[in-house]
Structures are given as structure tokens and as C-alpha cells.
Chain A
Amino acid sequence: MAAARLPAFLVLQPRARTLRAFSTSVSPATRSPRPSPSTTERTSKYGRPLRRKALPPRTEKMAVDQDWPSVYPVAAPFKPSVVPLPVRMGYPVKRGVPMAKEGNLELLKIPNFLHLTPVAIKKHCEALKDFCTEWPAALDSDEKCRKHFPIEIDTTGYVSAGPSIRNPKARVVTLRVELSSLNLDDHAKKKLIKLVGDRYCKSTDVLTIKTDRCPLKRQNYDYAMYLLTVLYHESWKTEEWEKKKTEADMEEYVWKDSSSEKNILETLLQIKAAEKNLELSKEELLGTEAVEEYRKSVVSLKNEGDNENTLSQYKESVKRLLNLT
């Protein structure tokens, strides 16, 4: 086979040579009828046209009061020749400055909002106004809105160009309501807070229910409203087992029937016994002003924790109770 190949290779070569010879023989004939090159184009002896000189960037031709939204009508990557700002970005070398915008990859990587300047947004709003209805004139303050519409529903819609218009993220529904606008008594409010757990924020008194377990937004909204209704009704009911609530379950300190009350009672009884002063009964002892003050100071100490104020209050009340100067 190799022997058979060799002559083919040898045969090819001279054929190529003959072709080349043919072309060289042909080319001088073809070259002469070519028209002369235009004056603007620079030709070199090698016949390859060079690329033209870079034009000055568009930024130099921009007016100061131009219409910017037409330069960047949509989200587009950062084009240094179009943005007239002398922006620099990058970590500088020693004794240097950050890199300029021309050919700067860092500026290309980050998202830019050049298409959303305030002027552009104003234009968007003007265009959207045709599709909007009037805001009701009676609802001119936040309190009125909260009073008449205590439940706030948050939903998000997503628009994108793609094979399908559906977006699974659009089914999330968030329901926010302030507990002060619900009709709850003390027991109901504590039970509701225990039932919802983390979903209640103590500082703003807002219950947030976020649902996304159903496939459609409408279904999630119904489910959220159902949850709210059920929570409300259940927290008003009192079950049998709620009577077994222990001191550890209490949200705040209750002085009645606590060990503090027992201690102070025993102490006072002993003091009275020592002074042979057994006329006062338990209820009267507990009703005296000194004990009232003591009760307040203990409750504040337990609920608020230790600080200078509560501790000094407690000290004063104990001193008064035990008749120390």
C-alpha cells in the first residue's frame, strides 16, 4: 500500500506545481484590468486593505441637555464610548490610579442602571398613568389606610421573554396584619402568639403569613385568609389542657401565687409574730402599700431584667417592708 501511495503523492506534487504555475501565469493577465484603488483607501504593497482609523467616541458629540433615555432605552451593557462620565474602576497599582473606563472589564461585569435614571422613570410613570385609576381621596394618611384596610396582601408578578409566560415564583402570597386591629382579649392574644411562633414580630406588632404551598396565586391567597380565620377563632377558644399551664410557660411574670409572694408573706408573718401583732390577716398584709410597691418592683425586675433603676427600686421597697432605715 505504501508503495502504491508514494507515486500518488509524487503525482500530486507536480500537479500542484503545475496549478500554481497556471495561476502565476494567469495572474499577470488578470491584474492589469483591475481598477485603480480609491483615494481614501490606503493600499500597501501587499494588497491587503488595512482597517480604518478609529473614529472619535460618540461622547464627544453629545450635548449636555440631550435625551438620555434614548441613549439607553433598555438594559444594555456598559459602553464606554457612549457613557460620557469619566468613571474609573479597579484596584490601582502602586502609586497609580484605578483603571479608566476604556476596555474596563470590571465595568462590564457589574449591573448598571443607566436605563433607569429619574428622567426615564418619570417617562415610564407618565406612560403607565393611562392604565391607572385615581387614588381614593379619603385615604390620605397611613393611619386611615390601616384603619379601613388592616390586612395587607403582597404578591409579585414576573414578566419575561421566554418560551412560557408562567413563572413559579409568582404564586407566593404574603399576608400582613397588625394584631391591634384584631379583636383579641388577653388570653386570645397570648394563645395566638404562641400558635404562630416566629411569624409574629413583637416590636411592630405585625403578624406575617407567607404561603406558597398551592400552585396558583389565587389558591394561596384563599389559604392565607383561611389560616387567619382559623387562628382567630382557635385563639378565642380555651381548651381543657390549657389549665395545666405552668410558670415556665408564662410569657411574663405574674406575681400572684408566685414564690416571691409566698416568701414575703412568710417573712411578714414572722415579723408580726415577733412583735406579737397578730391582728392583721393575710389579705390585709398583702394589701398594704409597702407590699404593693414591693410587688411592682419585683414584677419590673423580672420582666425587664436587671438594671440600675429596677434594682434600686427593689432595694428601697425591701427596706421599707423590713423596716430597715
Chain B
Amino acid sequence: MLKGMTRLISRVHKAKHGEQHEGQHYNISFQDLKTVFSHGLPPRFVMQVKTFNEACLMVRRPALELLHYLKNTNFAHPAVRYVFYGEKGTGKTLSLCHSIHFCAKQDWLILHIPDAHLWVKNCRDLLQSTYNKQRFDQPLEASTWLKNFKTANEHFLSQIKVQEKYVWNKRESTEKGSPLGEVVEQGIMRVRNATDAVGIVLKELKRQSSLGIFRLLVAVDGVNALWGRTTLKREDKSPIAPEELAFIYNLRKMVKNDWQGGAIVLTVSQTGSLFKPRKAYLPQELLGKEGFDALDPFIPILVSNYNPKEFESCIHYYLENNWLQHEKAHTEEGKKELLFLSNRNPGQLERLCAYL
């Protein structure tokens, strides 16, 4: 198995991914992993990266389609929303990461929420919001997210200036014209104000990307969490609706298409979602009526199982890295067996190969 068949070393020329590269793997440098993908990749993929000591993503048709749209975006028009949908394990999150990597290489500002479901469940400490008494803050999640955001967009934070004065409390305030990095620092240091800091960051970015200083990519994984139900409860055990969480409220404003100068890429996923049946994967089922009305009009992009070429390529990749140790793994019957067992589903194939 020649390396050239499955690999494509094109660190710089990400823009040149075309249809002829479909099915081939390309490498992501460790530098990018640390900055852009500090919090974005699915956990199993992170384990694979650690094992193989390299991060290789397969170039697939849904991602190529999205890259084509992104290349031809008109930044004067309102931001277009693209939604990846598909069954479990077909590669929605990795397609999202592919597009994030592309935009990072093109020097866009990446606003990546790795899993919106994490914000609507299992939150230990909910504080009453300092900004608006009706809403709730989530300090822990907000501060972790701010840290990751800082590592991803270090160089932008000093360039962008806030356009308003923000008063945190009696002693601290951020003046107009100071860099956005200060707001982020404030949020990381003062955990109580972290959610408000996130809100300010989102507001400023939205306002300023319309001015054309930079291009903004909003990437949310599991966006159906924004319009679903939460499992969080108040002290009197009454349930909290998603819009009563300050972070969700601000994020909903972010994915509306009333700003220009960027794009919004989303995925809807059942994994991690609350109160949705296991087999649900279509956008309307997962988003519900409210979510669909909020996201309308959007471009739905289906992510399906591997086609035969991609399947072959994946098996070759595993064989090259000596991941498949079973003696029958490289034979035709072995491949047929894997094909039958996994039904060409990428997630399932990865889990099966872990045992071989």
C-alpha cells in the first residue's frame, strides 16, 4: 500500500482540496492541533491522534461541498447557515473540524463551541446572572471555554477593540477602545463574570465582523441543544428553559443571520442530546419547530456513511499505521467482513478496528 494513495501532504494548500482528493487523508500539524483544536475534536479521534502520533483527517464530500460554499461566500451578504446532519457516527463533527481548520488557515476568527449539549446538562453551579436577574450563569463552563477561545485566536484578541465601556463591579471596568483580550482575561480571572464576558465577546464580534475587519466563523456542534430542553433545575426543582441560561440566550443571537462578514456552520446530533429518541437524525426531528423556525433558511448538508472508495482508503490508512494486527485483516474476506459488520459507518468501523 503506497503512502501516496491515501496521504496528501498539503499543509499550506488547504484551499486546493478538490474533488479529486476525495477519499484521501491529509495531515494537520501539531501546532494547529494545540491552537485551533484545543477543545474541538471528538474524544475517540484525540485518542487516535495520540496513538498514531499524527492527526489525519479524511477529505470527504460533505466537507468539500461546504468548503466550496465558503470559498464563494459573499461577505457583504448576511451570514449563511450550513447544517450538517446525518446518522450517528457518520462524521459530522470531523467535517465541522475540517471546515474549521480550513478557515483557520485562511485566517478567519474561529468561534467554536465544541458541544452545545454540555451547556444544558450536568452543570454543578448555576448562579443568578449579574447582568439580568431573570437568567442564569454558568461560571465553570464559561471560563473553560474562554481559555480555549483565547488559545485559538490569540493574535486576534489584541487587534480587536471593544466599542463600549463595560463595568464589571465597583472596582473593575473595561474602557472603550481596549483590546478584546482584556475582556477575556477578566472572564478567566473573575469566574463570576465569565458568562457575561462570553456574552460581551459574542456581541462585539458580531458587531465588528460586519465592519469587515476580520472574517468570523461561528461553529457550533450539537446546535439542537439550543432549542431543546435542559435537565437543569432551580432550587425549587422547577425546570429551567434554555433561554433562561445566559450563554444559550447569547448564542441564539449569534446564530441568527442578521450580521455580515462570515459564515455559520452547525451540526445537529442526537449523541448527547436530551429527550430525543436514539434513531432521530433528521434536522426537523432534532431541532423541533422552534429551532427550525429560528434557523430557517439554512442549507442542510447530509453526511452519510463511507462510499466504497472512502472505506478502502480508511482501511489502508489503518493498515499503514499497523493498527490492524489481525492476520486476516488485509485479505479480501477480512475487508468484506469489516464492511458487513460496520455497514461502512465510520464510527462503527473505528470501534471495530480498535479490537483487531
Contacts and interface: CB of A to CB of B under 8 A. Distances in A.
A307 B302 CA distance: 11
Interface residues of A, number: 28
Interface of A: 258-260, 263-264, 266-267, 270-271, 274-275, 294, 298, 301-302, 305-307, 311, 314-315, 318-319, 321-325
A324 B76 contact: no
A306 B282 contact: yes
A323 B77 CA distance: 10
A298 B77 contact: no
B80 A322 contact: yes
B257 interface: yes
Nearest to A305: B284
A325 B72 contact: yes
A270 B78 contact: yes
A266 B299 contact: no
Contact of A271 (B72, B77, B282): B77
B296 interface: yes
Contact of A324 (B72, B78, B260): B72
Contacts of A318: 297-299
A139 B69 CA distance: 64
Which 3 A/B pairs are nearest by Cβ-Cβ distance?
A: A306-B282, A274-B76, A259-B293
B89 interface: no
B285 interface: yes
Interface in B38-89: 68-69, 72, 74, 76-78, 80
Interface string B299-318: 11110000000000000000
Contacts of A294: 297
A301 B297 CA distance: 12
Contact of B299 (A258, A298, A324): A324
B23 interface: no
Nearest to A261: B296
A266 B296 contact: no
Interface size range of chain B in the complex: 20 to 34
Contacts of B284: 301-302, 305-306
Contacts of B299: 315, 318-319, 324
B258 interface: yes
Contact of A315 (B260, B296, B300): B300
Contacts, number: 63
A266 B258 contact: yes
A266 B293 CA distance: 13
A270 B256 CA distance: 13
A311 B283 contact: yes
B111 to A, nearest CB: 21
Contacts of A266: 258
A180 to B, nearest CB: 31
Given A306-B282, A311-B282, A264 B297 contact: yes
Nearest to B80: A322
Nearest to A294: B297
A306 B298 contact: no
B80 A321 contact: no
B297 A322 contact: yes
A323 B73 CA distance: 10
Contact of A267 (B69, B257, B300): B257
A266 B162 CA distance: 27
A263 B78 contact: no
Contacts of B74: 274, 323
A321 B81 CA distance: 13
A311 B300 CA distance: 7
B76 A275 contact: yes
Contacts of B285: 306
Contacts of A301: 284
A311 B298 CA distance: 11
A263 B302 contact: no
A322 B260 CA distance: 13
B293 A271 contact: no
Contacts of B300: 311, 314-315
A167 B69 CA distance: 76
A325 B296 CA distance: 19
A319 B68 CA distance: 13
A298 B302 CA distance: 18
B297 A274 contact: no
Contacts of B297: 260, 263-264, 267, 294, 318, 321-322
B95 to A, nearest CB: 16
Contacts of A264: 296-297
A221 to B, nearest CB: 44
A260 B260 contact: no
B310 to A, nearest CB: 20
Given A260-B293, A311-B302, A319-B299, A267 B283 contact: no
Interface in B244-289: 257-258, 260, 282-285
A302 B74 CA distance: 29
A267 B297 CA distance: 9
Contact of A322 (B77, B301, B302): B77
A301 B285 CA distance: 11
Nearest to A271: B77
Nearest to B81: A318
B293 A267 contact: no
Nearest to B301: A315
A259 B296 contact: yes
Contacts of A275: 76
A260 B284 CA distance: 14
